Structure 1
Amino acid sequence: MASSSSSSLSRRWPRVLEETPPSDAEAPDWAELPRDALLTVLHRLGHVDILMGPGQVCRPWRRAARDEPELWRRVELRFPAGLSSRLDPCKMARDAIRRSSEQCEAFLAQGAVDCSVLSFLADSVALSLKSLRLVSCQGIYDSMRLASVITKFSLLEELELSNCWGAFPETCAAVGKACPLLTRLRLSNKRFIKRDQNVVGGEARAIATTMPALRSLQLFANRLGNRGLVAILDGCPRLESLDIRHCFNVVMDDDMRARCSRIQTLRLPRDSTDDYDLDFSSPDMDPPGERRHLAVFYDDEWEFSSR
């Protein structure tokens, strides 16, 4: 009976023949891939992957990955936390900058990159860089050095300093004065900490007084309050996009909503963060009076608010 059933199934479902692997003659010869096709493949890879892998395939791939400046015109180096400890991110960043042959226009680093890399970037591509984005670069903590390096990029149009310890007011003020073409700024923190809502804040004051051409601004989890936001709105008349999500010191009363009505794309403190692309923590909403001992870290802001 079992034999009959098996025979019936065999007639209904023909056995699928196993595919045989291609012979050596049929296997693709990666070394003979046309250069245009090769560059198309490399453009689809991340720059960290290119620095780690394609050079090992064959000599043409190694030459293309190393000697084609177009491939490095817009550098994106995203180092996952688990991977950066096994690599040398700073060396890889310098290699990427070097391969651009002074033609790099955009540089993004996410992870373990420090001020030495920024100094190398400034020495190499100061006259071509238009976009600089630094995300979670905890090796960047010297605000004065950061400010002195970034001011060398006089053609900068976009700047991001997100979840970086060195994103201080001095940096914003220096950039605003040295980079007149700046139109996009993203200065986002990982966590909001409740402060006196009457504080203008160093970053807000610097933005308001030095960046009149700004068109897009994101200040995620920033400490600014209503006075700081008013200063920015008055000082940046061309502003079209404003994202102040998790800026819970801002109170959106009728007056503030009226002031913001000219902004084309507006994200408010309590708006959804579902589309926010970076890590962030739950806000610390404790009253500022319970945290007076932290004022030493923000002397300029506390002094400004007491006048």
Structure 2
Amino acid sequence: MSNQEENETDSAPSSNWAELTHVCLLNILSRLTLTQRWTGPMFVCRSWFSACKDPVFHSAFDLETHFESLAESPRWWTPEFERRIDSMLRSVIEWSEGSLVEIKTRHCSDRALSFAAERCPNLEVLSIKSCPNVTDNSLTRIAFRCSKLRELDISYCYEVSHQSLAIIGRNCQNLKVLKRNLMNWDASQHEGIVPKEYLNACPQDGDSEASAIARFMPNLEHLELRFSKLSARGLCLICEGCLNMECLDLSGCINFTSRDIVNTTSNLKNLKQIIKPNFYIPRSVFHTDRYGHWRLYDERFQTDIFRI
């Protein structure tokens, strides 16, 4: 480059991105994802940080997409990671100024969820999978303060009981979608990632939960109960109490047969999709204490493969 060109470049006006108007910044930042905003623009300068906090960006808090794109890590189950998720969620709740209608995350705690109950009266979608420190306490607050809830995912939240389901059903009459999935019975899939004591704490009261769902959630249209411990009796209660059911996922449920499913779901006139259990169960599994009741299937069908 010649000396003349260098002088012309030096004398040209430089762009000061920090002086963009708030409206321009909102327009630019609206083209970015949540993750992109949190890992870049928020750290540019004070005006950019202020724009990132605008309520227009915080009607929804969705980290589930990010979680799904990554391989599960043992680090996610640590107190430090939970504190970071809590801090992030609390910040978004504050910035939303009451406009937050959707929360999708994992590994948050009662503290953040109770804060959401206080500040998010318009909440409609709540997905909090794999939260070992979410209990009936915070979900009860959600039930009483977020009556517009229409979708709830509490999969792998083992400190949540059927009592929460009953309270939510009583107070959230618009609930259409419930996902209450448990972890796969094959613990080897989670070894080294999920703490062993948490795997052993898997809820066993499937019929109690089924009873609460049947009695207090009559408007359900989509229900997921993967690897639930409910029996044919519990399934019958659900099918009698939730007549608007359109989608029913029973993957991994082993306490009833194909005939039980046909008989109990025959009165669901709106049912469009049902996902039945489908297993490959080696004979060696039947002889363990934890899954000893599966020996019944082996004796009944005389096969190494039990499929519904």
**What TM-score, normalized by structure 1, do the two folds share?**
0.70
- Given the superposition, is the C-alpha separation of residues 242 and 121 from structure 1 closer, same or farther in structure 2, using an over 3 Å criterion? same
- Paired with 1:262 and 1:149, the residues of 2 have a C-alpha distance of 29
Of the three residues 124, 127, 140, the one matched with 1:133 is 127
Q: Deviations over 1:40-87 (max 9, x none)?
A: 233x233xx534542111333212111x21211011235864477366
1:210-249 superposed matches below 5 A: 210-249=216-255
Mapped pair 1:182 → 2:144:
no
Structure of greater Rg: 1
What letter matches 2:250 in structure 1?
Answer: I
> What residue is the counterpart of 1:267 in the other structure?
275
Identity of aligned residues (%): 26
- Paired with 2:276 and 2:290, the residues of 1 have a C-alpha distance of 17
1:104-143 superposed matches below 5 A: 104-111=100-107, 113-126=108-121, 128-140=122-134, 142-143=135-136
Of the three residues 58, 79, 93, the one matched with 1:72 is 58
Mapped pair 1:35 → 2:31:
no
Q: After alignment, is 68-77 or 232-241 more displaced?
A: 68-77
- Paired with 1:213 and 1:38, the residues of 2 have a C-alpha distance of 41
**What TM-score, normalized by structure 2, do the two folds share?**
0.70
> What residue is the counterpart of 2:43 in the other structure?
56
Superposition deviation, residue 250 in structure 1: 2.6
Q: Deviations over 1:66-125 (max 9, x none)?
A: 1x21211011235864477366221221101101111001111212x1111111111111
Mapped pair 1:158 → 2:122:
no
- Paired with 2:85 and 2:270, the residues of 1 have a C-alpha distance of 43
What letter matches 1:147 in structure 2?
Answer: T
Superposition deviation, residue 241 in structure 1: 0.9
Mapped pair 1:101 → 2:97:
yes
- Paired with 1:134 and 1:171, the residues of 2 have a C-alpha distance of 14
- Given the superposition, is the C-alpha separation of residues 288 and 229 from structure 1 closer, same or farther in structure 2, using an over 3 Å criterion? same
Superposition deviation, residue 267 in structure 1: 1.0
- Paired with 2:159 and 2:13, the residues of 1 have a C-alpha distance of 55
- How many residues were matched structurally? 246
Q: Is the 8 A contact 2:147 2:173 kept in 1?
A: yes
What letter matches 1:224 in structure 2?
Answer: L
Which consecutive residues of structure 2, in runs of 5 or more, have no partner in the other structure?
Answer: 1-8, 68-72, 187-204, 281-288, 296-308
Superposition deviation, residue 27 in structure 1: 9.1
- Paired with 1:170 and 1:270, the residues of 2 have a C-alpha distance of 30
Residue 207 of structure 1 aligns to a residue whose secondary structure is helix
Superposition deviation, residue 39 in structure 1: 2.6
